Homo-oligomer: A and B are copies of this chain.
Amino acid sequence: MKSDIPQLLFNAFSMNCVGHINQGLWTHPRDKSTEYNNLDYWVSLVKVLEKGLFDGLFLADVLGVKDVYRQSVDISMREGIQFPINDPLPMISALAAATTNIGFGITLNLTYEQPYLLARRLSTLDHITQGRIGWNIVTGYLDSAARAMGMTEQIEHDARYDRGDEFLELTYKLWEGSWDDDAIEIDRQGRVYARPEKIRRVRHNGRFFNLDAYHLCSPSPQRTPLLFQAGASERGKLFAASHAECVFVSGQSKDSVRLIASSIRDEAKRIGRNPDDVKIIMGVSVIVDDTDVQAKEKYAEYIEYASPEAGLANFAAGTGIDFSKYELDEPILPPKKNNGIQSSVTATTQGKNPKTRRQLLSDFALGGRYTPIIGSPQTVADEMIAWAQETGIDGFNLARTVTPDCFEDVVNLLIPELQNRGVYKTEYKSGTFREKVFGNGDRLPGRHPAAKWR
């Protein structure tokens, strides 16, 4: 069966810690996520991914600790729920040196980073990886992060995005506006390294930031890194539509994902972008084996090690709801406070038929909230293609289960099947991360809001 959908984008979705999306699987005898402090663990992972022509290794991140469930961090520490957690950024150059094509999506939180320093860190990485850098823009959602940064509580949800808009405006000015492409001369005879008249000082006096600076780095291959974002609240979707080139979504039903995808594209169009300038990428947990039966057996084996309660504790921090306070069969009617939570996530606990704790624990059988896709290569391919056809998404973020087995299974079993279906590339295109994903040049298109600062 040939499909009418274009090539699916594939990112491996991971985090510089033990428990990312699917909690508890570090206890599986073959899981190696406890080696996350060791560069070799990551280097061998990216080599597997590049063998499978993955578009990117996407590294989530979080600041702070998950302390909402039972109002305690104990379960987060005992189960390794995104804690301890290393910074994703410092290891990227080693992973880039071990590979040639795969891109790297790095999460950096603009509520706590500084625009002048962040712009330089990402330009540096874009230089040394020859344009393989993406930035997942997050604004944070944990009060514990605010306290760690010396604040008493977080900036209010919508204000975080207002501030984020201005933060991005600043980085756009530095990345896109401070240097002409031909400013670097390297004329040894004439003793001209760079032409001062081609380097502009950026001055900005805004509501949240002031800046008066030259961008410290010469233009990197992409200038602005490929921009990822995952906002799904109303304000978050506007932010994503205004800035993001790749938007992550998660959802339990095709209907909800189709709705999110189309509303983000509509919003992008409304502000003057091309709807095709935004790729929509959905989080999934894939469990694939030679046959459906074997895949189901593998799933059954994995969930013996998973921790649904740790998944719920992680979800509690994401939603701000302490699920431990509800009886097992009590409908969960969440409190009004919803400080920065993805609406697609809170939707799980809202709507006409609020779920109970028992139902959530059952949803989180694999330790996390991504609906698993389980089966033979044929079954999984069918299902992924159906998701793409019926919702308009462009690709998938594959959350790890038992790692690196889960990625090896995908590379060895699923990808050949997707290639047979004609929905997965058989070789990498040349060029930067942006060029590989969009096929339209290394730089942001002229329609993107950043372009006006050129």
Residues of A within 8 A of B (CB): 16, 18-19, 24, 26-29, 34, 37-39, 43, 63-65, 73-74, 77-80, 83-87, 89-98, 112-114, 116-117, 120-121, 123-125, 127-129, 144, 147-151, 184, 186, 188-189, 191-196, 199, 209-218, 220, 307
Contacts and interface: CB of A to CB of B under 8 A. Distances in A.
Nearest to A220: B37
B193 A26 contact: yes
B149 A116 contact: yes
B217 A86 contact: yes
Contact of A112 (B112, B117, B128, B194): B117
Given A29-B188, A85-B216, A128-B94, A209 B150 contact: yes
A198 to B, nearest CB: 9
B194 A84 contact: yes
A89 B90 contact: yes
B216 A63 contact: yes
A217 B124 contact: no
A111 to B, nearest CB: 11
A192 B79 CA distance: 6
The 10 closest A-B pairs by CB, nearest first: A148-B213, A80-B193, A93-B94, A150-B210, A86-B124, A147-B212, A37-B127, A77-B196, A94-B97, A87-B124
Given A116-B149, A127-B37, A43 B97 contact: yes
A212 B153 CA distance: 11
A50 to B, nearest CB: 16
Contacts of A73: 196, 214
A117 B113 contact: yes
B114 A214 contact: no
6 contacts: A39-B128, A84-B217, A87-B120, A89-B121, A97-B98, A148-B211
A124 B435 CA distance: 31
A38 to B, nearest CB: 7
A194 B94 CA distance: 28
B91 A91 contact: no
Nearest to A187: B27
B191 A307 contact: yes
Contacts of A87: 117, 120-121, 124
Nearest to A98: B97
Contacts of A124: 16, 86-87, 90-91
A148 B77 contact: no
A251 B255 CA distance: 71
A268 to B, nearest CB: 30
Contacts of A94: 93-94, 96-97, 128
Interface centre among A43, A116, A150 (most CB of B within 10 A): A150
